[in-house]
């Protein structure tokens, strides 16, 4: 049986504590804001430092770093489903290698696309679904409509919660914690939750959406963080079915704090990626092992 949890819907409030957390170095953060493809894919070359230190602990997790690449939504969705099916087949089976039971993390960006959860109400679309201004897909998660596009950092963790905690609310709250810590660590941005709503907020602006699907305690889909995203497409929908709330991005927050000064998009994206995967690995006690190819 598959169980889905939303990008959008509210869930009971829960505060997850990191396990094995340690003091984090604040060196290297930008500090600009205070207080506030199907088939074989080759991972992007990056100047980012490899995951080291506290991030290299615990259970093995393959990392496919495509965070500088624009990957069609249908490709990434297909990859996830293929990996999940392989993992499901191994549940309860003893195998010879740790690789057979490893977790997976895919980092990427998407071209402009709207995704509709399996419980979506079209009243949250400000257009006729047959005349969508951009690509649109119904997918196997719960929740309402959301937008993905260039400049938005998407992480798709495919994790067996039998090795973590068999609790979907805990997992969603944990992903929120990862984002909140990454924003503070890398950018000195003070982010938070809003009770009853899923996601991460800076003031009244939602900067990250979270949504998952679970089958046999293997979770997929994940999180989307607006880094340098063009926010215009959000105006054509009621994001996540939440009325009266605005959507923001790291870049916009910096612009508001820096009197509109232009910032380097590539630097913001790389910094967000490095911080997010570091916090992810530390929180879930995973050893991220970069893999050059996603060969399905």
pLDDT for 45 equals: 41
DSSP three-state, residue 279 = helix
Contact 7, 257 (CB under 8 A): no
In this structure, what token pair is assigned to residue 282? Answer: 């530390």
pLDDT for 33 equals: 38
Contact 47, 270 (CB under 8 A): yes
**3-state SS track over 194-250:** ECCEEEEEECCEEEEEEEEEEECCEEEEEEEEECCCCCHHHHHECHHHCCCCEECCH
In this structure, what token pair is assigned to residue 196? Answer: 């009853």
C-alpha to C-alpha distance for 53 and 233, rounded to whole angstroms:
39
DSSP three-state, residue 13 = coil
Domains delineated in the chain: 2-11+53-91+101-290 (3.30.930.10)
Among 137, 136, 143, 175, smallest CA distance to 159 is for 175
Among 176, 150, 142, smallest CA distance to 229 is for 150
Contact 218, 166 (CB under 8 A): no
The DSSP letter of residue 150 is T
- Angle at which helix 265-284 crosses helix 168-187, to 10 degrees, equals 130
pLDDT for 22 equals: 34
Element (H, E) at 114: strand 113-116
Among 205, 234, 211, 224, smallest CA distance to 272 is for 224
Contact 288, 105 (CB under 8 A): yes
- Sign, CA dihedral 293-59-104-162, equals positive
Which of 8, 61, 214, 240 is labelled catalytic? 240
Phi, psi torsion values for 213, nearest 5 degrees: -130, 145
- For 125, other C-beta atoms within 10 Å of its C-beta total 19
pLDDT for 261 equals: 58
pLDDT for 130 equals: 80
Annotated catalytic, 240? yes
Phi, psi torsion values for 198, nearest 5 degrees: -90, 140
C-alpha to C-alpha distance for 265 and 281, rounded to whole angstroms:
24
| Sequential pLDDT tens for the chain (296 residues) | 555 554 444 333 333 333 333 333 334 445 443 333 333 444 444 444 444 444 445 899 999 999 999 999 999 999 999 999 999 988 876 544 445 568 999 999 999 998 887 666 667 675 787 888 899 888 777 566 789 999 999 999 999 999 999 999 999 999 999 999 999 999 999 999 998 888 999 999 999 999 899 999 999 999 999 999 999 988 876 555 456 678 999 999 988 886 555 679 999 999 999 999 999 999 999 999 998 776 55
- Sign, CA dihedral 20-153-6-246, equals positive
pLDDT for 137 equals: 84
In this structure, what token pair is assigned to residue 1? Answer: 């049986």
pLDDT for 26 equals: 36
Helices (H), the chain: 73-90, 168-187, 250-257, 265-284
């Amino acid at each position: 049986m598959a169980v889905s949890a939303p990008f959008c819907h509210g869930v009971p409030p829960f505060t997850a504590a990191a396990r094995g957390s340690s003091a984090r170095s604040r060196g290297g953060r930008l500090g600009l804001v205070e207080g506030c493809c199907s088939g074989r894919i080759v991972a992007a070359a990056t100047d980012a430092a490899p995951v080291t230190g506290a991030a290299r602990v615990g259970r093995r997790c393959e990392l496919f770093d495509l965070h500088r690449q624009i990957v069609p939504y249908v490709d990434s969705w297909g990859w996830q489903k293929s990996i999940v099916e392989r993992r499901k087949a191994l549940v309860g089976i003893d195998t010879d290698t740790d690789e057979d039971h490893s977790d997976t993390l895919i980092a990427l960006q998407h071209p402009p696309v709207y995704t509709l959860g399996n419980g979506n109400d079209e009243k949250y679309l400000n257009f006729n679904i047959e005349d969508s201004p951009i690509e649109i897909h119904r997918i196997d998660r719960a929740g309402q409509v959301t937008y993905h596009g260039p400049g938005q950092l998407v992480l798709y963790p495919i994790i067996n919660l039998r090795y973590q905690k068999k609790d979907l609310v805990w997992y969603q709250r944990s992903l929120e914690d990862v984002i909140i810590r990454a924003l503070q660590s890398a950018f000195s941005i003070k982010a938070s939750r809003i009770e009853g709503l899923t996601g991460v907020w800076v003031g009244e602006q939602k900067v990250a959406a979270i949504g998952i699907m679970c089958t046999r305690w293997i979770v997929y889909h994940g999180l989307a963080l607006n880094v340098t995203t063009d926010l215009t497409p959000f105006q054509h929908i009621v994001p996540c079915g939440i009325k009266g709330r605005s959507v923001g991005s790291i870049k916009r927050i910096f612009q508001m704090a820096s009197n509109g000064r232009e910032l380097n998009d590539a630097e913001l994206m790389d910094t967000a990626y490095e911080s997010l995967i570091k916090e992810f690995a530390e929180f879930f006690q995973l050893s991220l092992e970069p893999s050059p190819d996603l060969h399905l």
